[in-house]
A and B are shown apart, each in its own frame.
Chain A
Amino acid sequence: MKAAVIVFPGSNCDRDVKVALAQSMGTPPLMVWHRESDFPSVDLIVVPGGFSYGDYLRAGAMAANSPAMAETSRRADRGVAVLGICNGFQILAEAGLLPGVLMRNAGLTFICRDVHLRVERSLAPFTGRYRQGQVIRIPIAHADGNYFTDEDTLKRLEDGGQVVFRYSDTEGNVTGPANPNGSLDNIAAIVNEAGNVLGMMPHPERLADPLLSGTDGRAMFEGLVEAFG
Chain B
Amino acid sequence: MARPAPITPELVQGHGLTAEEYGRVLEILGREPNLTELGIFSVMWSEHCSYKSSRKWLRRLPTEAPWVICGPGENAGVIDIGEGLAAVFKMESHNHPSFIEPYQGAATGVGGILRDVFTMGARPVANLNALRFGSPAHPKTRHLVSGVVAGIGGYGNCVGVPTVGGSCDFDESYDGNILVNAMTVGIAPKDRIFYARATGVGNPVVYVGSKTGRDGIHGATMASAEFDEEAEAKRPTVQVGDPFTEKLLIEACMELMAEDVIIGIQDMGAAGLTSSSFEMASKGGVGVELDLDLVPVRETGMTAYEIMLSESQERMLMVLEPGKEAIAKAIFEKWELDFAVIGRLTDTGRMVLLQGGETVADLPIDPLAEAAPVYDRPTKKAAPRPLIAPGGVAPPESVMAALKTLLGSPDLCSKRWIWEQYDHMVMADTVARPGGDAAIVRIHGSSRGLALTTDCTPRYCGADPAAGAAQAIAEAWRNLTAVGARPLAVTDNMNFGNPERPEIMGQFADAVEGMRAACLALDFPVVSGNVSFYNETNGKGILPTPAIGAVGLVDDLAKTASLALETAGESLVLIGTTVGHLGCSSYLKEVLGRADGAPPPVDLAAERRNGDFVRAEVQAGRVSACHDLSDGGLLVAAAEMALAGDTGCTIEIPIGAPPAHAWLFGEDQGRYLIATGDAEGLLARAESAGVPAAVIGTSGGESLTVNGFGTISLSELHETHEGWLPGYMGDA
A and B interact physically: yes
Chain B neighbourhood of A15, CB < 8 A: 427-428
Q: Scoring A residues 43 to 57 as 1 if CB is less than 8 Å from chain B, else 0, what string do you get?
A: 000000111011110
Q: Is the CB of B158 within 8 A of A10?
A: yes
The yes or no answer to A16 lying at the interface (CB within 8 A) is yes
The yes or no answer to B454 lying at the interface (CB within 8 A) is no
Q: Which of B379-387, B418-426, B696-704 contacts A (4 or more CB under 8 A)?
A: B418-426
Q: Is the CB of B425 within 8 A of A112?
A: yes
The residues in A between 74 and 124 inclusive whose CB is less than 8 angstroms from any CB of B are 107, 109-113
The yes or no answer to B157 lying at the interface (CB within 8 A) is yes
Q: Scoring B residues 245 to 275 as 1 if CB is less than 8 Å from chain A, else 0, what string do you get?
A: 1011000000000000000000000000000
Q: Scoring A residues 122 to 143 as 1 if CB is less than 8 Å from chain B, else 0, what string do you get?
A: 0000000000000000010101
Partner of A209 from the list B336, B426, B428 (CB cut-off 8 Å) is B428
Give the CA-CA distance A51 to B158 in the complex, in Å: 6
Give the CA-CA distance A57 to B491 in the complex, in Å: 38
Q: Is the CB of B421 within 8 A of A20?
A: no
Determine the main DSSP class of A at the interface with B: mixed
Give the CA-CA distance A51 to B159 in the complex, in Å: 8
The yes or no answer to B242 lying at the interface (CB within 8 A) is yes
Q: Scoring B residues 423 to 444 as 1 if CB is less than 8 Å from chain A, else 0, what string do you get?
A: 1111111110100000000100
The yes or no answer to A218 lying at the interface (CB within 8 A) is no
Q: Is the CB of B420 within 8 A of A12?
A: no
The yes or no answer to A31 lying at the interface (CB within 8 A) is no
Give the CA-CA distance A211 to B158 in the complex, in Å: 25
Chain B neighbourhood of A211, CB < 8 A: 431, 442, 447, 557
Partner of A13 from the list B153, B426, B431, B433 (CB cut-off 8 Å) is B426
The yes or no answer to B244 lying at the interface (CB within 8 A) is yes
Measured between C-beta atoms, what is the minimum distance from A209 to chain B in Å?
7
Chain B neighbourhood of A50, CB < 8 A: 160
Q: Is the CB of A139 within 8 A of B425?
A: yes
**Contacts A9-B336, A54-B243; is A205 near B428 (CB within 8 Å)?**
yes
Give the CA-CA distance A15 to B244 in the complex, in Å: 17
Q: Is the CB of B160 within 8 A of A212?
A: no
The yes or no answer to B335 lying at the interface (CB within 8 A) is yes
Q: Is the CB of B425 within 8 A of A141?
A: yes
Q: Is the CB of A110 within 8 A of B425?
A: no
Q: Is the CB of B157 within 8 A of A9?
A: no
**Contacts A13-B426, A51-B244; is A110 near B421 (CB within 8 Å)?**
yes
Chain B neighbourhood of A107, CB < 8 A: 731
Q: Is the CB of B160 within 8 A of A13?
A: yes
Residue of A nearest to B335 (CB): A9
Give the CA-CA distance A10 to B425 in the complex, in Å: 17
Q: Is the CB of A12 within 8 A of B442?
A: no
Residue of A nearest to B146 (CB): A109
Chain B neighbourhood of A12, CB < 8 A: 158-160, 247, 426
The yes or no answer to A203 lying at the interface (CB within 8 A) is yes
The yes or no answer to B674 lying at the interface (CB within 8 A) is no
Give the CA-CA distance A53 to B423 in the complex, in Å: 18
Chain A neighbourhood of B335, CB < 8 A: 9
Give the CA-CA distance A67 to B693 in the complex, in Å: 65
Q: Is the CB of A212 within 8 A of B158?
A: no
Q: Is the CB of A110 within 8 A of B248?
A: no
Q: Is the CB of A110 within 8 A of B423?
A: yes
Q: Is the CB of B158 within 8 A of A16?
A: no
Chain B neighbourhood of A213, CB < 8 A: 431, 433
The yes or no answer to A19 lying at the interface (CB within 8 A) is yes
The yes or no answer to B150 lying at the interface (CB within 8 A) is yes
The yes or no answer to A166 lying at the interface (CB within 8 A) is no
Residue of B nearest to A113 (CB): B420
Give the CA-CA distance A209 to B336 in the complex, in Å: 35
Q: Is the CB of B426 within 8 A of A141?
A: yes
Give the CA-CA distance A110 to B242 in the complex, in Å: 17
**Contacts A112-B420, A205-B428; is A10 near B731 (CB within 8 Å)?**
no
Q: Is the CB of B426 within 8 A of A54?
A: no
Partner of A110 from the list B157, B159, B430, B557 (CB cut-off 8 Å) is B157
Give the CA-CA distance A49 to B162 in the complex, in Å: 14
Q: Is the CB of B160 within 8 A of A54?
A: no
Q: Is the CB of B242 within 8 A of A112?
A: no
Residue of B nearest to A35 (CB): B334
Categorize the interface residue count of chain B: 20 to 34
Chain B neighbourhood of A9, CB < 8 A: 244, 247-248, 335-336
Chain A neighbourhood of B154, CB < 8 A: 110
Chain A neighbourhood of B422, CB < 8 A: 110, 112
Give the CA-CA distance A56 to B240 in the complex, in Å: 14
Give the CA-CA distance A35 to B409 in the complex, in Å: 52
Q: Is the CB of A51 within 8 A of B157?
A: yes
Chain B neighbourhood of A143, CB < 8 A: 157
Give the CA-CA distance A112 to B442 in the complex, in Å: 19
Give the CA-CA distance A16 to B442 in the complex, in Å: 13
The residues in B between 406 and 425 inclusive whose CB is less than 8 angstroms from any CB of A are 419-425
Partner of B430 from the list A49, A53, A203, A212 (CB cut-off 8 Å) is A212
Measured between C-beta atoms, what is the minimum distance from B615 to chain A in Å?
20
Chain A neighbourhood of B424, CB < 8 A: 112
Most buried by A among B153, B422, B423, B428: B428
Chain A neighbourhood of B243, CB < 8 A: 51, 54
Give the CA-CA distance A10 to B157 in the complex, in Å: 11
Give the CA-CA distance A176 to B154 in the complex, in Å: 27
Chain B neighbourhood of A13, CB < 8 A: 160, 426
Residue of A nearest to B427 (CB): A16
Chain B neighbourhood of A206, CB < 8 A: 425-426, 428
Q: Is the CB of B425 within 8 A of A111?
A: no
Chain B neighbourhood of A209, CB < 8 A: 428
Chain B neighbourhood of A112, CB < 8 A: 157, 419-425
Give the CA-CA distance A113 to B427 in the complex, in Å: 15
Q: Is the CB of B244 within 8 A of A54?
A: yes
Chain B neighbourhood of A109, CB < 8 A: 150, 153, 421
Residue of B nearest to A14 (CB): B160
Give the CA-CA distance A13 to B427 in the complex, in Å: 7
Partner of A111 from the list B420, B426, B557 (CB cut-off 8 Å) is B420
Give the CA-CA distance A56 to B154 in the complex, in Å: 12
Most buried by B among A9, A53, A113: A9
Q: Is the CB of B427 within 8 A of A10?
A: no
Partner of A212 from the list B153, B431, B447 (CB cut-off 8 Å) is B431
**Contacts A110-B423, A111-B421; is A56 near B159 (CB within 8 Å)?**
no
Q: Is the CB of A141 within 8 A of B157?
A: yes
Chain A neighbourhood of B245, CB < 8 A: 54
Give the CA-CA distance A12 to B114 in the complex, in Å: 15
Measured between C-beta atoms, what is the minimum distance from B467 to chain A in Å?
37
Chain B neighbourhood of A16, CB < 8 A: 426-428
Give the CA-CA distance A141 to B430 in the complex, in Å: 14
Measured between C-beta atoms, what is the minimum distance from A64 to chain B in Å?
16
Most buried by A among B153, B154, B244, B425: B425
Chain B neighbourhood of A10, CB < 8 A: 158, 244, 247-248
Give the CA-CA distance A113 to B425 in the complex, in Å: 9
Chain A neighbourhood of B433, CB < 8 A: 213
Give the CA-CA distance A51 to B247 in the complex, in Å: 10
**Contacts A9-B248, A107-B731; is A20 near B428 (CB within 8 Å)?**
yes
Residue of A nearest to B153 (CB): A110
Measured between C-beta atoms, what is the minimum distance from B354 to chain A in Å?
34
**Besides A51-B158, A54-B243, 14 other CB < 8 A contacts?**
A9-B247, A12-B158, A12-B159, A13-B426, A15-B428, A16-B426, A16-B428, A54-B245, A112-B419, A112-B421, A112-B422, A139-B425, A211-B442, A212-B431
Contact sample, A vs B, 27 pairs, CB 8 Å cutoff? A9-B244, A9-B247, A9-B248, A9-B336, A10-B158, A12-B426, A13-B160, A13-B426, A15-B427, A49-B426, A54-B245, A54-B247, A55-B158, A55-B244, A109-B153, A110-B154, A110-B422, A112-B157, A112-B419, A112-B420, A141-B157, A141-B425, A143-B157, A206-B428, A211-B557, A212-B430, A213-B431
List chain B positions with a Cβ less than 8 A from chain A.
150, 153-154, 157-160, 242-245, 247-248, 335-336, 419-431, 433, 442, 447, 557, 731
Closest 8 pairs (CB-CB, A-B): A12-B160, A54-B244, A16-B428, A51-B158, A141-B423, A112-B423, A110-B421, A206-B425
